[in-house]
Structure 1
């Protein structure tokens, strides 16, 4: 592969973006590929925006410039809209169908766009939508939504699915390995049907 493959993972505090970036880093190490990553946390403890930059095979800094990401993985539909400018026109977005309405919307009496409006605003992208909450529950835990999303996005990464699954096993707590393996596989299958 020539040049880097840049992945931006976005969500809100508590959704597991940092764990997801750790899984990608572990997969890169297992494949012997250089990787750089960085996280930025905006009031993550209060449900604020969190972004994780992962650059595979890159030679330069850890942060991805707007308009340059190869893949955007959004754990929240509103965060997909907030960070879509990191993708070039026609860029690849894998997003969760669900979103958490920010507290500021209630405090400031703002209106929230519905799913159809958000998806219309993302219409110029190569879009894969996954209902991670339903799939994670099927896998055995709603807390595995981040691994569902990684499974779905794995179809569009330059890393082997087997390597990513081994990295999931290495990064999640031992008692949750079986649930997370299932979450990854179900997410990958869901993206294949989109």
Structure 2
């Protein structure tokens, strides 16, 4: 298999790291080499978090700018912030919501409007998903990251069954049904080709 690079971006508390762990686990299920790394600033409360997942034959865990095949943006503003990592022709699966950063309040900075953020993404292969609504439909707003994984699974070079098994291996048993429902709702939101 040739390499496939996935950048997952969000803010602290959105489940970015769990999402990267699920993709890595799915690679292990399929016996595909995988490397990954997370970088986080003030991730405990609202800080930027990025996870690099490199599927296939690669040497280092960090995706160079301009090389990501897929970006999974758990927050629309973070998707714009890390857009320089996406390669020409790359795809974005983005949550159609933005958490207002703390400096907007504390320093009275302007907050870009949704249309401005979408305009910054330009002419890209973009799939927007209302992860909050689908997570609520699944039964708990905390599973938005798994909804996003379900949607992104349509773009990943991994089998649906491997992703579902990876979810089962990565979440507590008592939340398995909730998480699998969230995964299915996200996956079904993206029309199969």
TM-score for the superposition, normalised by structure 2: 0.97
**How big is each residue's C-alpha offset from its partner over 1:126-151, in whole Å with a ceiling of 9 and x where there is no partner?**
10000000000000110100000000
Aligned counterparts of 1:145 and 1:38: Cα–Cα separation in 2:
21
Question: Aligned residues, how many?
Answer: 193
Q: How far off is 1:60 after superposition?
A: 1.1
Aligned counterparts of 2:81 and 2:58: Cα–Cα separation in 1:
27
Residue number in structure 2 paired with 1:60? 59
Aligned counterparts of 1:23 and 1:87: Cα–Cα separation in 2:
21
TM-score for the superposition, normalised by structure 1: 0.96
Q: How far off is 1:109 after superposition?
A: 1.2
Q: Is the 8 A contact 1:97 1:129 kept in 2?
A: yes
Residue number in structure 2 paired with 1:36? 35
Aligned counterparts of 1:76 and 1:141: Cα–Cα separation in 2:
18
Aligned counterparts of 1:39 and 1:80: Cα–Cα separation in 2:
16
Aligned counterparts of 1:114 and 1:59: Cα–Cα separation in 2:
38
Q: How far off is 1:122 after superposition?
A: 0.6
- Unaligned regions of 5+ residues in structure 1, if any? none
Aligned counterparts of 1:102 and 1:37: Cα–Cα separation in 2:
26
Q: How far off is 1:124 after superposition?
A: 2.2
CA RMSD of aligned residues (A): 1.3
- Unaligned regions of 5+ residues in structure 2, if any? none
Counterpart check, 1:187 vs 2:183: no
Residue number in structure 1 paired with 2:115? 116
Counterpart check, 1:144 vs 2:143: yes
Aligned counterparts of 2:89 and 2:108: Cα–Cα separation in 1:
34
Residue number in structure 2 paired with 1:91? 90
**How big is each residue's C-alpha offset from its partner over 1:59-85, in whole Å with a ceiling of 9 and x where there is no partner?**
310000010000000000000000111
Q: How far off is 1:90 after superposition?
A: 3.3
Aligned counterparts of 1:140 and 1:106: Cα–Cα separation in 2:
31
Q: Segments of 4+ in structure 1 off by > 3 A?
A: none
Residue number in structure 2 paired with 1:20? 19
Q: How far off is 1:58 after superposition?
A: 2.7
Aligned counterparts of 2:83 and 2:109: Cα–Cα separation in 1:
21
Aligned counterparts of 2:61 and 2:31: Cα–Cα separation in 1:
18
Q: How far off is 1:89 after superposition?
A: 2.9
Aligned counterparts of 2:89 and 2:60: Cα–Cα separation in 1:
24
Aligned counterparts of 1:97 and 1:192: Cα–Cα separation in 2:
17
Residue number in structure 1 paired with 2:69? 70
